Each structure stands twice: as C-alpha cells, then as structure tokens.
C-alpha cells in the first residue's frame, strides 16, 4: 500500500513571486506554484486514500478467488489430459500422450485400464504409476522409466521395454508374450502369474527378481541375463526358455 504524504500549504503568490530574480522567471514560477497547489490539494484529498485501500483490497480478493478456484483448474487440466489420451486410442505415434500421461501421474491420478496400444511412448516417465489392467500392447516404450509401476493384469504383449527402468515394477498376472525386455532393469520386479512366451529377456538385470510363480516362459530368450536369482535360469530352461545370442543369428 502506498504511503500518503500530506504536503504543506504553498506560499501565497505574493510571497512566491517575491523570490523571482528577473521578470523572465515569473511564468516558470507561476507554473511551479500551480503544480504545488495541485499536489497540495491531492495530498490532502481523503478520496485518494480510499482508492488506494480499494486497490489493495481488490488484489486480496483476486488472490482469494485464485486459490479458491485452483481445484477447478486442476480438474480442467486433468480433463484435457484424458481427452488427449482417449482421442488418440488406436492411433500410432505419441499424439501428445507422453505429456498427458506424465502430467496425470505427477498429480497422483490412477491410470487404471488406460489404453495406449500401438503408440510410440519412447522415453516416457511414469514412476510409480497405477497401470492395473492397462493395455500397452505393441507399444514402443524403450528407454522409459516405470520404476515401481503397477502393471498387474495388464496386456503387454509385444511391448517394447528395451533398456527400460522397470525396477520394483509389478507384472503380476500380466501378458508379456513376445515382449522385448532386453537390457531392461528388472531388479526386484514381480512376475507372479505373468506369461513371458517368446519374450526377450536377454541382457536384462534380474537382481532380486520375483519369478517363482511365473506362468509361462516358453521360447523366452534369457541369453546373458545379469544377476539372475538362484535357480531361475535352470527353471526357465527346463520350462522351454532358450539361450540365444541374437548377435550370432
């Protein structure tokens, strides 16, 4: 708020003109004297103080309205993000879905059942996302970050998770048939009741992998897997997995 400084009453014109040292200075002194009177009158006009208070009050009201409507703005933003995701279903490319999904996840919105099948989502960051029963089939999501994400019962057939960050992700009951997980970080990931028929796990990091209840690994490639849990490789080979060096084919 501005500080209203009250000015002193200007000198009478007779006294003021007496300070003129020459005749040519009189017009300038007259102009200055009138300005002093205007400034004096305005500085003592209470109405201006009222206007100053009203200006401060209007700013306060604007701030209150801004925060009171913040929930509506968030809802509008989420609605627009979902529109991007839903209108792009069945289409290739990204179609703005990377930014939309990341924004929703950052705001804590669950992405349960989202359908992004066939899309290009390379490099997407959805750490900790709730993607239960989602459809990521034939999605190109290489080099992406899904650490701690929940893909329980998701359709991930032919997904490309090559070199993805999938540590502690849950694939419980998910369909990963023909999925490409080569070079992926699967540390601590959960694969109970998941199917990995024809999947590529070559060079993946399997440290602390929870594999004991995997449903199917028929023809899955486990060549060069790193930090495999004790007994996994033997079990996988016994159940139809293969050790094939893709570079030698």
| Distance spanning both ends of the chain, measured CA to CA | 77
Measure the CA–CA gap between 169 and 152, rounded to whole angstroms: 9
Q: What is the band of 249 on the pLDDT scale with cuts at 50, 70, 90?
A: very low
**116-126 confidence digits (pLDDT tens):** 999 999 999 99
Cite the DSSP H helix spans in 163-229: none
- For residue 102 the two structure tokens come to 């990341």
- pLDDT value for 221: 98
Rg of the chain over Cα atoms, rounded to whole angstroms, equals 36
**What percent of the chain shows pLDDT beyond 90?**
59
Residues in CB range of 213: below 8 A, 6 or more apart: 191, 192, 193
Q: What is the band of 17 on the pLDDT scale with cuts at 50, 70, 90?
A: low
- pLDDT value for 132: 97
Measure the CA–CA gap between 199 and 201, rounded to whole angstroms: 6
C-alpha angle 169/171/208, rounded to 5°? 55
Q: What is the pTM of this model?
A: 0.71
**What percent of the chain shows pLDDT beyond 70?**
70
- For residue 159 the two structure tokens come to 């997904």
- For residue 140 the two structure tokens come to 């190109």
Tokens 């080569």 belong to 182
- pLDDT value for 22: 59
The lowest-confidence range among 10-14, 155-159, 224-228 is 10-14
**94-130 confidence digits (pLDDT tens):** 778 999 999 999 999 999 999 999 999 999 999 999 9
Q: What is the band of 79 on the pLDDT scale with cuts at 50, 70, 90?
A: confident
Closest alpha carbon to 114 in 95, 132, 92: 132
Measure the CA–CA gap between 152 and 184, rounded to whole angstroms: 18
Q: Is the pLDDT of residue 205 over 70?
A: yes
Closest alpha carbon to 214 in 230, 237, 238, 194: 194
DSSP secondary structure code for residue 173 in this structure: T
- pLDDT value for 98: 95
Q: What is the band of 148 on the pLDDT scale with cuts at 50, 70, 90?
A: very high
CB 194 within 8 A of CB 215: yes
Average of per-residue pLDDT across 203-220: 97
Average of per-residue pLDDT across 134-143: 97
- pLDDT value for 158: 98
- pLDDT value for 187: 98
Average of per-residue pLDDT across 153-157: 98
- pLDDT value for 25: 61
């Amino acid at each position: 708020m501005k500080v209203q400084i009250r000015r002193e009453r200007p000198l009478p014109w007779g006294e003021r003109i007496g300070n003129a040292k020459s005749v040519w200075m009189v017009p300038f002194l007259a102009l200055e004297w009138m300005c002093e009177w205007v400034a004096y009158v305005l500085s003592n006009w209470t109405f201006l103080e009222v206007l100053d208070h009203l200006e401060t009050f209007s700013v306060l009201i604007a701030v209150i309205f801004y925060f009171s409507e913040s929930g509506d703005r968030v809802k509008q933003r989420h609605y627009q993000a979902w529109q991007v995701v839903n209108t792009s279903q069945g289409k290739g490319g990204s179609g703005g879905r990377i930014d939309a999904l990341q924004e929703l996840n950052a705001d804590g919105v669950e992405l349960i059942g989202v359908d992004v099948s066939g899309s290009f989502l390379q490099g997407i960051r959805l750490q900790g996302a709730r993607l239960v029963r989602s459809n990521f089939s034939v999605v190109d999501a290489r080099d992406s970050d899904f650490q701690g994400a929940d893909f329980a019962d998701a359709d991930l057939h032919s997904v490309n998770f090559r070199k993805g960050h999938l540590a502690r992700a849950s694939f419980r009951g998910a369909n990963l048939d023909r999925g490409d997980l080569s070079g992926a970080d699967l540390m601590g990931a959960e694969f109970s009741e998941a199917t990995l028929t024809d999947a590529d796990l070559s060079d993946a990091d399997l440290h602390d992998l929870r594999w004991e209840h995997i449903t199917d690994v028929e023809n899955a490639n486990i060549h060069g897997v790193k930090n495999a849990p004790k007994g996994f490789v033997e079990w996988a080979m016994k159940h139809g997995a293969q050790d094939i060096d893709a570079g030698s084919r």
